[in-house]
Amino acid sequence: MPSTNDVLLNGAALVGFVPDPGRPLHQVQAVMARFSDGTDHQRRRAVAVDALRRLDVEAARQRSYDMAARALRSEETVDLAPLARTVPTSVLCELMGLSPAIVVPTIDALCRALAPMGGVVDRPDDEAVMAGLHEAFGDMDEVVVNRLSLLFQAMDATSSLISLEVIRWADARATRRPAVSETRRTVDGETVVVRFEHPGEEFGRGAHACPGQGLAEAMVRGFLDAVRASGRTLTLRVEEISFEDRPNLRVAVALPTRRLAR
Ligand code: HEM
């Protein structure tokens, strides 16, 4: 098995995304930097990186703390798993001047329609998700798609990172696994699975390395600080936590907490 360095740093290794002409959402996905190669990739990545540069990392950490803290004050029992999806995406919406109430459900549907999943999956309908995207973002040109791709890239991956940090908070002895477990490239027409073995590798390397790492880590820090300050405990033992059936991400199905007695 080649190491991540060999494959992800190899200029001849392609993402090689082939859109299914029968799936409208694949036409959007194909325009995202993450799924593009060559000069298309460079141009589209520049759009994403430029949009990211405008976002204030410290404000993102603080808003993530505030939103999580507020949700954790509300009920006796709170499941952190859905919050781990919605809080970071809502924070990004706010920083990007978008309405979380409209955009978060749209991005959630986009992720559920496109995310690699094992087993039989009940996916939202492409046409319905496309209609939601048009309503939320207008015309889907390359710039619009690569701005909204920040939300798409952030939602599942950041919820996965939060899942694993919550587990470490609950049990310091738990082994911290990489949030992203693998990615793929095409080399000379052959698919190569690149496995991330250690948490230090989970943001990728090379031309497609994650440009959102600092922002994601800041939001995770804010979220976890709110969890630590909430006087709560996880009501499952870490061995009891189950994960969604995904080949590339570790996302906890549920992370139920309750308030500790004072
Ligand atoms: C604020 C949250 C995030 C944003 C805005 C973001 C954004 C992006 C974007 C735009 C790309 C595509 C870059 C390109 O193809 O040139 C990307 C790739 C990537 N991101 Fe993130 N990301 C976020 C969170 C995360 C998290 C939490 C993880 C992992 C724990 C992660 C792991 C990755 C990896 C591994 C890739 C590269 C995949 C590959 O090379 O095949 N990202 N991200």
Q: Note the pLDDT tens digit of each residue in 156-207.
A: 999 999 999 999 999 999 999 999 999 999 999 999 999 999 999 999 999 9
Tell me what pLDDT residue 194 has.
95
Pocket-testing residue among 210, 217, 221, 224, ligand 1, by greatest number of atoms within 8 A of Cβ:
210
* pLDDT tens-digit map of 99-132: 999 999 999 999 999 998 888 788 999 999 999 9
Instruction: Give the mean model confidence (pLDDT) for residues 193-222.
Output: 96
Q: Is the CB of 210 under 6 A from ligand 1?
A: yes
Q: Is the pLDDT at 23 greater than 60, yes or no?
A: yes
Tokens of 231: 């006087």
How far is the centre of ligand 1, averaged over its atoms, from the C-alpha of 251 (Å)?
A: 15
183 lines ligand 1 (CB under 6 A): yes
Domain regions of the chain by residue span? 4-259
Give the pLDDT confidence score for residue 5 in this predicted structure.
64
Ligand 1 binding pocket mutation candidate from 31, 153, 181 (most atoms within 8 A of CB): 153
Taking the centre of ligand 1 as the mean of its atom positions, its distance from the CA of residue 105, in whole angstroms, is 20
Q: Contact 48/150 with Cβ under 8 angstroms?
A: yes
DSSP string, 86-150: HHHHHHHHHHTT--HHHHHHHHHHHHHHHS---S---PPPHHHHHHHHHHHHSS--HHHHHHHHH
d(CA 201, CA 196): 6
202 Cα to the center of ligand 1, angstroms: 9
Q: What is the pTM for the complete model shown?
A: 0.96
- Burial (CB count <10 Å: 0-12, 13-18, 19+), residue 246: middle
> 156 in ligand 1 pocket by Cβ < 6 Å?
no
Neighbours of 181 (CB within 10 A): 18
177: Cβ below 6 Å to ligand 1? no
- Token pair of 78 as six digits: 């709170």
Q: Are 155 and 107 a contacting pair, CB within 8 Å?
A: yes
In angstroms and rounded to an integer, the radius of gyration of the C-alpha atoms of the chain is 18
pLDDT at 108: 97
**In the structure, how many helices (H) and strands (E) does the chain have?**
9, 5
Tokens of 220: 């995770």
pLDDT digit string (tens) for 68-94? 999 999 889 999 999 999 999 999 999
Task: Give the CATH class of 4-259.
Answer: mainly alpha
